[in-house]
Chain A
Amino acid sequence: MSMQSLINGSKQFFNETGNIVKFSNRFFVVGTKPGSEFKELLVQCYLIGYKSLPLVGLTGFIMGLVLTMQLRPSLVIYGVESQLPAMVGIAIVREIGPVITALIFAGKIGSSIGAELGSMRVTEQIDAMEVSGINPYKYLVATRILSTTLMLPILSILADAISLFGAYIGVNINSVTSFSLFFTQVFQNLDFYDILPAVIKTFFFGFAIGVIGCYEGFNSKKGTKGVGRAANSAVVLSSVLVFVIDLLAVQLTDLMGFN
């Protein structure tokens, strides 16, 4: 790779990052102004939150079940099989539940927002809104970003619960453990500082997925190819951001002594 292409690549990266930051800043300016699009917000919460529940629930259940089945043999070797509910509980609540839910959410919602807004952009529907005196950022973008920010934490908590139920089923495949004993063991080993940072970071995951999906769609160009690119970039970039935010969250909670 030549020096020039490296410089150009870096320029493009910082340009794009700057544009995304500017785009997300508009959310705080436009989204907090009076006359919000409350009805559209509710519609988006329904589409983004409620409609994602079956997929998130199913993946959460499988995740809990598989995690338990994979962990058991190792714990049996060390003679700590009784710690299975505690380990699975901590892993799901602190890390796997929020991150896997966010990744599923990025795939389903990030791509759908990117494609929807991208298609509206290339068919001039966003321009039509703008020339009618309707602020498309407020109507299309702010409502979607707010919905993803509010819905992902709720979905993540539900996914955690369903995942723990999956883990309970997993535990009972090879042994018999009562429902109350399983969940008593799980919650005895969880404390407030396991749950709080995990919930807080899902707000950031949701915000990032909403911003990236909307940014890619809103700035889509070059016809149907651009729409495909917008949907694809929305998923890739928001998935990477989920991991980056997760890394920062782990470092931060570590520094604050929550780990």
Chain B
Amino acid sequence: MFEKSADKYKDRPRVIVVEHLSKQFGDHVVLDDFNLSVFKEENVVVLGKSGSGKSVLVKCIVSLLKPDLGSIFVLGEDISTLNDEELDALRMKLGFLFQSNALYDSMTVRENLEFPLLRYDKSLQKSEIDARISEALANVGLEHTLNMMPAELSGGMAKRIALARAMILKPEIVFYDEPTAGLDPVTAREIDALILKMKRKYHTSSIIISHDMECVKHTSDRVILLLEGKCYTQGTYQELEQSTDEKVKQFFESEM
């Protein structure tokens, strides 16, 4: 079903390959023999009900959680075989936008952005750091927040700063965990636009977790529906929107 949806990207290298991934917590099976490939510069949206294992999936991919079974290859590397240093080096090529933003609340905006930069390359000069921070803030249109604390930012501003931080190392893959959750529709669409802007500017591949169907519509190249721990179906937004399958229709009808 919906095989044509990957046509545009299928000749490109795969940046993420998940094979037969299983994860359970106690008796609760969250992911069950799940498979996924993400191609270079492709935006894949993982759609699913709350508690369906979407966040668990991305946390397994970035190795915040260890899978029970299966293998995960990120940028060609099997993450289960990497030691701590190799994993840290790989993670520097990844960006992660958390649902809660996860800004370091004891640091200013500048320090939040500076923190990964200083550890990424200790030889960076102050002028280079300043330039990278200015570029990151200009990308999200919040240059004036440089010396503000996270507590002083609105929800939308905090999300943008978190996005700027996720992009500061110019990652090859970005993970967006519910990027528009808790935002008003106007701000949510601004975040959608920023996600697309980052893709165009830095040629990133992304996995976006969302059940905001507007966000799915605007940002996805391919949508994967995660149900009962498995990939139930996948395709472009338009393909899924026209589906007659009751379980797929539920997501689109609830939006209308």
Residues of A with Cβ closer than 8 Å to B?
120, 123-125, 127-135
Contact = CB atoms under 8 A, between A and B. Distances in A.
Given A124-B100, A127-B102, A128-B98, A133 B84 contact: no
B88 interface: yes
Given A130-B91, A131-B91, A134-B88, A124 B98 contact: yes
Given A133-B92, A135-B84, A123 B102 contact: yes
Interface range on chain B: under 10, 10 to 19, 20 to 34, or 35 or more?
20 to 34
B105 A123 contact: yes
Contacts of B175: 131
B129 interface: no
B102 A125 contact: yes
Q: Which of A124, A125, A133 has the most CB of B within 10 A?
A: A133
7 contacts: A127-B64, A127-B98, A128-B98, A128-B103, A128-B104, A130-B91, A133-B90
Contacts of B64: 127, 130-131
B177 to A, nearest CB: 9
What is the predominant secondary structure among interface residues of chain B facing chain A?
Answer: mixed
Contact of A125 (B62, B94, B99, B104): B104
Contacts of A134: 88, 115-116, 119
A133 B89 contact: yes
B155 to A, nearest CB: 14
A131 B84 contact: no
Contacts of A125: 102-105
A132 B116 contact: yes
Given A131-B64, A133-B92, A123 B100 contact: yes
Given A123-B100, A124-B98, A124-B100, A131 B62 contact: yes
B169 interface: yes
Contacts of B88: 133-135
A124 B116 CA distance: 16
Contacts of B120: 133
A124 B115 CA distance: 16
Nearest to A37: B119
Nearest to A122: B100
Given A128-B98, A133-B92, 19 more contacts: A120-B104, A124-B99, A124-B100, A124-B102, A125-B103, A125-B105, A127-B59, A127-B102, A128-B102, A128-B104, A130-B91, A131-B175, A132-B92, A132-B119, A132-B169, A133-B89, A133-B116, A133-B119, A135-B84
B34 interface: no
B96 interface: yes
Contacts of A133: 88-92, 116, 119-120
Interface string B244-255: 000000000000
A132 B165 CA distance: 9
A32 to B, nearest CB: 14
B91 A132 contact: yes
B209 to A, nearest CB: 14
A166 B103 CA distance: 46
A184 B233 CA distance: 85
Q: Which of B84, B91, B102, B105 has the most CB of A within 10 A?
A: B102
A135 B115 CA distance: 12
Contacts of B115: 132, 134
Contacts of A124: 98-100, 102
